[in-house]
A and B are shown apart, each in its own frame.
Chain A
């Protein structure tokens, strides 16, 4: 078990550019979540997948955001035409039904700065 990994750890981009983040969940975890966290706030749910199916999206997720999880393994989160308000930490988590229900294991996050 190598934990959830995210790449890149940091990303600086100019407003209007597109960015893509990758998340590799713990192997055999069938659920994968994306969250966004701004300074001083708790993580905010964006979307989640069960295997390759995207089952739920937050109303906070604008049309500029898209997420995929091909083949039910790694996932990507793309932000198109980035805005300064998109600056945040983007966290990925994975889970499976274990002894503690759907306990979520978080990755280290990708910190996005839009200039």
Chain B
């Protein structure tokens, strides 16, 4: 299993861009990188997923360098409602094997006024 390392916490202010980096040095060839967001007392929610280079959707961007040993989730212009825990997952999602998807401890993002 590819282990991931993320900062435990980050603080930001409304309107700022937030970048959360995840290290996954032993990522395998078939592994994808997926980010989830979790609010208190709720299940995690899918944010974005990628394999290499850059992926962008309506809420975030995901930057993956060529060696794929790290990835950066970028949240543009955060608001108070973005305060949550963000998890970086690395796994072979194409086969969907549950044991291949591992959540780390996540990054607690706190956004203030």
Contacts and interface: CB of A to CB of B under 8 A. Distances in A.
Interface string B31-44: 01010000001111
B60 interface: no
Contacts of B49: 100-101, 103
Nearest to B57: A100
Q: Which of A43, A50, A102, A105 counts the most B-chain CB atoms under 10 A from its CB?
A: A102
Interface stretch (B10-18, B72-80, B97-105): B97-105
Nearest to B104: A42
Interface residues of B, number: 23
A69 B40 CA distance: 28
The size class of the interface chain A forms with chain B is 20 to 34
A32 B101 CA distance: 13
The secondary structure that dominates the B interface is: loop
A101 B49 CA distance: 9
30 contacts: A4-B43, A31-B96, A35-B103, A40-B105, A42-B87, A42-B103, A43-B44, A43-B103, A45-B101, A45-B102, A56-B98, A56-B99, A58-B99, A93-B43, A100-B46, A100-B49, A101-B49, A102-B94, A102-B95, A103-B46, A103-B49, A104-B101, A105-B46, A106-B42, A106-B44, A108-B41, A108-B42, A108-B43, A109-B42, A111-B41
Interface of A: 4, 31, 33, 35, 40-45, 47-48, 50, 55-56, 58, 91-93, 95, 97, 100-109, 111
